[in-house]
Structure 1
Amino acid sequence: MLRTNQTFLNYLDELYEKQKGSDDITLKSFSAGNKILIQDHQPSHVMLIKKGIVKCYFVEENGKEYIVEFLGSGEVIGEVELIKNINCLCTIETLTEATVYAVKIPAFRSLIKNDLV
């Protein structure tokens, strides 16, 4: 099953247009097979998928890969790690070409604090 969240994507589309000229939210493009976040690494941004499909998975100590879920437009990645102040729990890899909004961590914290939708 592919999770999507059109409402949150619409919200971030509007926010991105309003803040043009600032680098708090940027658009990034990835080819299929790129890793957006890597398990056990510190995330530099919280991201929202604008278009494309990604898989979220983790690798156990025995080397086995376990797919947690597939994510599409409007889904947020890296927010759990930000809230818990931990390294990435999973690797996020693009299955198709993907475009994401990359939100700087201080900007995302500000949104959580000041702009709960």
Structure 2
Amino acid sequence: MRRFLIISICLLLSSPSYAEDTALAQAAKTIQPAVQAAANYTQKSILQTMASGDGALADGAKRAMATLEHQERMKNRGPRQTMQECIKPNSVIDDDVKECMEGLRPRTW
């Protein structure tokens, strides 16, 4: 019950409906990253639990996990590069080169 109350208060405080100059709005801005991190962790834990089973629900959870992973990689990617900068010796183009071009992998070859 205590956890539910804390989560409810955090969600209430993190809603954008409060004026910007109130103390409550400032408190909401302060704790919003912590609330978001807890929500992301909970979502990933639930998806992992669901994905460990069998059936359609597990398949959907696996797809959702893959989508979340892709979104995180896109948020944290580096600068994009040209194919000429990323191409492997002997003009080899593969998935590593594609990821290098998108900024998801550094050129290490």
Fold shared, TM-score > 0.5 on shorter chain: no
TM-score by length of 2: 0.23
Give the structure with the larger helix fraction.
Answer: 2
Comparing both chains, which one has the higher relative contact order based on Cα–Cα distances under 8 Å and sequence gaps of 6 or more? 1
TM-score (norm 1): 0.22
Return the index of the structure with the highest Cα Rg: 2
